[in-house]
Amino acid sequence: MLTAETKKPPLWMTLGAFAVIYLVWGSTFLAIRVGVLAMPPLLFAAMRFLTAGVVLVGWQLSRRDSLPTARQWRSVVVIAFLLFLVDYGLLFWAEQRVPSGVAAVVMATIPAGMTLMEVALLGTQRLTVALVTSLLIGLFGVAVLVSPGLHLSGAVVNRAGAGAMLIAAVAWSIGSVLMKKLELPASRAMSAGTQMLAGGTMLLVAAAGFGEFHGFHPSAVSRGAWFALAYLITAGSLLGFTAYLWLMHHQSPTVVGTYAYVNPVVAVVLGFFVAHEPLGVRTVIGAACVLVSVGLITLAKKK
């Protein structure tokens, strides 16, 4: 007999949660682009994650959740360094130079990076011919985006920005794999909240170190950038994370992981229609290769 906790949730709740991780997470790339064109990137990222972290940790403490132990805090700091300071720090920096849709496409290489980390760090995957082929297709997609020698229509992606995002994707992959090895709080919400809190603090220190506070005047920032920040905090971090955790409890990880296919498409479409970002043959071919790579990697890992 199904209990109240294991009972199948209403269809509208499931569809709503998928809509959040598909559409909201896909739209965050455009919101980041809007924000970093008006504010220093590391400071913008710090404001997002510090605020979301304080809200989430405060909420969990109000529900009598426990703060991490000293050992768990060390793990939180390591993960926060990789996921927030390196990954998000570089992504926010890169989106000053790279259109939001293209940024989403390059960041879609994360499943490839995670697969390589599972091979190198965990030994839970073997580097088969199918996986190598999938990885090469993804790398070819990125090469299409940044290579001027192919003479395709559409602007060549800024190489510094693309390189930063590839490093960001590797950092996210390493951090995600280390989550399986390090001791973190049992509560996923507390774990995520403390990671955002630690990561936001690191980003704030980095922003100060790179002189981003110098000459920054909040009153000079556009309303659109403030709205983008509010959207990233509420919809991107708090609502998106809640929907993701809820789906992971009620759906298989493979089904939930389909957001990796949808987010780049949503980001490219929004970038084209809302921000009037160019959509040439180069972007279409590059995106198609990356998405095919993600699909093949997923199928190869199932076998």
* Domain-located, residue 4: no
Average pLDDT over residues 210-232: 96
Three-class secondary structure of residue 289 per DSSP: helix
* Domain-located, residue 48: yes
Query: Which pLDDT band holds residue 110 (cuts at 50, 70, 90)?
Result: confident
Structural domain including 210 reads 11-302
* Domain-located, residue 198: yes
Query: Which pLDDT band holds residue 303 (cuts at 50, 70, 90)?
Result: low
Q: With 60 as the cut, is the pLDDT of residue 3 above it?
A: no
Q: pLDDT for 182-196, tens place per residue?
A: 999 989 889 999 999
Average pLDDT over residues 120-128: 76
Q: With 90 as the cut, is the pLDDT of residue 168 above it?
A: yes
* Domain-located, residue 1: no
Q: What is the pTM of this model?
A: 0.89
Within 10 angstroms of residue 77's Cβ, the number of other Cβ atoms is: 17
d(CA 166, CA 173) in angstroms, rounded, equals 11
Amino acid at the residue 57: V
Q: With 60 as the cut, is the pLDDT of residue 259 above it?
A: yes
Q: Could you give the maximum distance between any two Cα atoms of the chain, in Å? A: 63
* Domain-located, residue 24: yes
pLDDT: which is higher, 131 or 204: 204
Per-residue pLDDT, 279: 87
* Domain-located, residue 5: no
pLDDT: which is higher, 54 or 180: 54
d(CA 104, CA 162) in angstroms, rounded, equals 11
Per-residue pLDDT, 8: 82
Q: What is the mean pLDDT of the chain?
A: 89
Per-residue pLDDT, 151: 67
Q: pLDDT for 233-249, tens place per residue?
A: 999 999 998 888 788 77
d(CA 34, CA 144) in angstroms, rounded, equals 25
Q: What's the number of domains the chain is made of?
A: 1
Per-residue pLDDT, 261: 82
Percent residues over pLDDT 90 in the chain? 62
Are the C-beta atoms of 96 and 209 separated by less than 8 Å? no
Percent residues over pLDDT 70 in the chain? 95
Query: Which pLDDT band holds residue 285 (cuts at 50, 70, 90)?
Result: very high
Q: pLDDT for 134-153, tens place per residue?
A: 889 988 999 889 887 776 76
Q: With 90 as the cut, is the pLDDT of residue 296 above it?
A: no
Question: Where do runs of H (alpha helix) occur along 68-187?
Answer: 70-80, 89-94, 100-107, 110-117, 129-146, 159-178
